[in-house]
Amino acid sequence: MVASDDLYGGTRRLFLKTFGKFGLDFSFVDAREPANVESAIRENTKIVWLESPTNPTLKLCDIREISGIAHKGGAIAVVDNTFASPYFQNPLSLEADIVLHSATKYIGGHSNVINGAVMVSDEGLHEKLRFQQNAVGAVPSPFDAHTIHVQLKTLGLRMERHAQNAQDVAEFLEAHPKVKRVYYPGLKSHPQHELAKTQMRGFGGMVSFEIRGGMEAAARFLKSLEIFLLAESLGGVESLAEHPASMTHASVSREDRMRAGLSDGLVRLSVGIEDSGDLISDLDNSLK
């Protein structure tokens, strides 16, 4: 498998610590450059695994171009679309073969259900996946399915508010003297802003930023927050903050983290649907 080099820490742990025991090999590359993916594909490569935007540095990859590269090499393209949500991005229309979501996040949107979703457009692939789902028992409870169905009805409304609040927060942080760098595809300063406009209908509700002062400054900031809750999850109506180096990506070695741009001062925000002025005030007070 060829995969993005800054995947969600839990995904990377699953690949290396669990799937690796079954003889699977993994090559991690900077998927912002399609040529890196192409050069990593070998004769035995079966899957190209992408996140776009990535977790937590919100890097993008050209889904259509990389899907074509995967197909040319005899592999399938899989996209974890959790950060974008199906409201803002549809990888199947960009020639990906499989799209997956943690439905716990934006699809559910209220932090009250654990669920996941896999989408394909090929009937044969669908049948293979349904067989595996049935064989391993990966079936949600009826109540969880009902909850997702009900909460999905407000997805559009929620995502529009998430994205607008995230844009406001990102612009505030970008202008703050204690912030070294902001990662949000909706900012013109994002190196892949134009790609985001091409393959996304909106820029999502996730914002990451690097605070000056490293680990200690990040810890002080997180401890001072009042509206943003300290938690690893994301995509709910409430705003959350987390520290990747010590939380979501703690299982990733520091060397690999630094290589992927996950510094000790990096903070990830899941921007909720509260009043954006209140959120910015909370961030401003905590940065003092």
Residue after which a domain boundary falls, among 128, 151, 174: 151
Domain boundary among 90, 118, 151: 151
**Are 107 and 221 found together in one domain?**
no
pLDDT exceeds cutoff 80 at 251: no
Number of domains in the chain: 2
What confidence tens digit (pLDDT) does each residue in 181-192 have?
Answer: 999 999 999 999
Query: 5-22 burial, b if ≥16 CB within 10 A, otherwise e?
Result: bbbbbeebeebeeeeeee
The verdict on 7 and 139 lying in the same domain is yes
Element (DSSP H or E) covering residue 120: strand 117-120
In terms of domains, do 10 and 67 share one?
Answer: yes
- Say whether pLDDT at 252 is over 90: no
CATH code at position 246 = 3.90.1150.10
The reply to whether 137 and 230 lie within a common domain is: no
146 with 159, same domain?
no
Model pTM greater than 0.85?
yes
DSSP 133-161: HHHHT----HHHHHHHHHHGGGHHHHHHH
53 and 98 belong to one structural domain: yes
Q: Are residues 186 and 143 in the same domain?
A: no
pLDDT in tens, 188-204: 999 999 999 999 999 99
Mark whether 131 and 170 lie in a shared domain.
Answer: no
Q: For the domain that residue 94 is a member of, what is the CATH number?
A: 3.40.640.10
Give me the mean pLDDT over the 18-43 stretch: 97
- Indicate if 84 and 176 belong to the same structural domain: no
Q: Closest Cα to residue 248, out of 20, 31, 10?
A: 10
**205 and 118 in one domain?**
no
Owner of token pair 């839990």: 10
Last residue of a domain, one of 124, 151, 178: 151
- For residue 165, the model assigns a pLDDT of 99
Do 142 and 23 share a structural domain?
yes
What whole-number distance in Å separates Cα of residue 150 and Cα of residue 113?
12
Mean pLDDT to the nearest integer, 96-117? 97
Backbone phi, psi, residue 86, to 5°: -70, -15
**Domain range enclosing 227:** 154-287
| Shared-domain flag, residues 7 and 115 | yes
| pLDDT, position 129 | 95
**pLDDT in the model for residue 6:** 86
Average pLDDT over residues 200-227: 97
